[in-house]
């Protein structure tokens, strides 16, 4: 079993995210993004892209979603996003928020 310290890799990144994907797994089938939003941080674009789907999970903190879809995403809640649909993720709270995005290829439109 190959374990990866995703949180520490995220903390050392400039983007506040770590993408666990092909370089870690050797597979194009799926990926996972671990992200941290600082208190009050706005603007993390969510857009899976053509032929992709994602599930966004609020792990720590309550998040706000704006854009093509909008609403609140409470800690422990998730939603599904497909294709070219886009939204922005924001942390309105005074504490750090953590989210996880798991994604992969749709059954159709897969063209990698």
Say how far apart CA 61 and CA 42 lie, in whole Å: 14
Q: Answer with the residue of higher pLDDT: 37 or 110.
A: 37
Q: 104 near 80, Cβ under 8 Å?
A: no
**What is the per-residue pLDDT for 11?**
81
Domain boundaries, given as residue ranges, for the chain: 6-105
Instruction: Report, at the CATH architecture level, how domain 6-105 is classified.
Output: Sandwich (2.60)
> pTM of the full predicted structure?
0.85
Q: How many CB atoms lie within 10 A of CB 89?
A: 23
**What is the per-residue pLDDT for 108?**
60
| pLDDT tens digits, one per residue of 43-59 | 799 999 999 999 999 99
19 Cβ neighbours under 8 A, 6+ residues apart = 31, 32, 33
């Amino acid at each position: 079993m190959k374990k990866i310290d995703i949180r520490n890799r995220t903390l050392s990144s400039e983007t506040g995210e770590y993408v666990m994907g092909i370089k870690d797994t050797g597979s194009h089938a799926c990926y996972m993004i671990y992200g941290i939003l600082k208190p009050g941080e706005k603007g993390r674009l969510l857009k899976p892209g053509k032929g992709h789907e994602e599930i966004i999970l609020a792990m720590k903190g309550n998040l706000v979603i704006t854009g093509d879809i909008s609403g609140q995403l409470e800690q422990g809640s998730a939603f599904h996003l497909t294709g070219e649909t886009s939204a922005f993720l924001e942390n309105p709270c005074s504490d750090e928020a953590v989210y996880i995005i798991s994604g992969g290829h749709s059954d159709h439109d897969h063209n990698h």
